[in-house]
Amino acid sequence: MEKAEPEAMRRPEPARLLAWYDRHRRRLPWRALPGERQDPYKVFLSEIMLQQTTVAAAAPYFASFLARWPNIEALAVAPLGEVLSAWAGLGYYARARNLHAGAKAVAERYSGRFPMSVSELITLPGIGPYTAAAIASIAFEQRAVPVDGNWERVVSRLFAHSEPLPKARARLRTLAETLLPDARYGDFAQAMMDLGATICTPRRPACALCPWNDACAARADGEPERYPLRLAKMARPTRRGVAFLAVRADGAVLARSRPMEGLLGGMTEVPSTPWEGALPTDPVQHAPVKAAWTPLNAPVTHVFSHFALELTVWRAEVPAGTVAPAGHRWVPVRGIDDEAFPSVMRKVLARL
């Protein structure tokens, strides 16, 4: 039998949260001002960028993308390579491919007008249940619950929900639906995000300032920071490899594009050995060109979501006429910033 949720001191009233939001809402570049109509394209662009990324990190990329591709039609016809290059440094690069594919789908299937319902939005590339609910509620005032990490934290504390994440997600979504108002679904969704980001924070929540503090079971128990409960994380394994930094006499760097599918798909990289548990016994056998390769002292380290990477960098100077092997190309120094080098590869290039 499922354990009953603890009784809060009073029922959380949506009107109180909305009144708090009207006074304290964050000014965000993708958020419409009070009384303005929300631009679905801005919601789409920001929500894809904010997946696994902070507001502070996403904001400059949002501004850059909006200036370069001001609407969904412009983004849809942009070359994927340019989109990946503009995304470089923001991480989780599958999002850039999904952003581009989603824009093309909206342009082709819906003549550039976003569908309004969750059921239609979720059919677009790269849009899952959360993003579909966020666009539907914020852009189109549809009754939906875009349950992100902020929602999960607020709801789990309101009800002192004792089941740990990720198993708790289905139940927290059900509880979140009980909080919805009868209108202003977009404002309510953003109010929940703001409450979690500024008041109901992971550590040292400012409960005294919360509009729902007298309705919070976790606060009544005196331990709001305990929630949400989480299962213990698995240790992150370490993979290792050798990156080959080949520099031509004119300063050009040897590079190649990664396969479109998989980790860092479609991004530009410095040639390297496979990323495995141990370094190859004879790294030079994997070098892309014959040269006098020299290992550099400090390795490059980078952390991905499921593993840590340690790259030993080997460098070689080659003559100006050296031909790039099949599948590779020479990138001039002035063109490096225009290439879609991800953060880990920019760390390698820093060895230049």
Return the closest-CA partner of residue 106 out of 146, 75, 137: 75
Write the burial class of residue 113 (CB in 10 Å: 0-12 exposed, 13-18 middle, 19+ buried): exposed
Residues paired with 254 in a beta bridge: 330
Cβ contact 192:150 at 8 Å: yes
Please give the angle made by the CA atoms of 235, 239 and 245, to the nearest 5 degrees: 150
How far is the CA of 287 from the CAs of 52, 254, 278, 323, in angstroms?
Answer: 34, 11, 17, 14
What three-state secondary structure class fits 332? coil
Query: Is 47 assigned a catalytic role?
Result: yes
Alpha carbon distance 140, 121 (integer Å): 12
Burial class (CB in 10 A: 0-12, 13-18, 19+), 67: exposed
Which candidate in 5, 47, 108, 310 is catalytic? 47
Residue pair 210/224 in contact by the 8 Å Cβ criterion: no
Specify the pairing of strand 308-318 against strand 238-248: parallel
Q: Are 16 and 184 in contact (CB under 8 A)?
A: no
Residues forming a β-bridge with 253: 247, 331
CA distances from 246 to 134, 161, 293, 300, 333 (A): 45, 55, 9, 16, 12
- Looking from the CA of 40 toward its CB, the CA atoms found within 13 Å total 21
Catalytic residues: 47
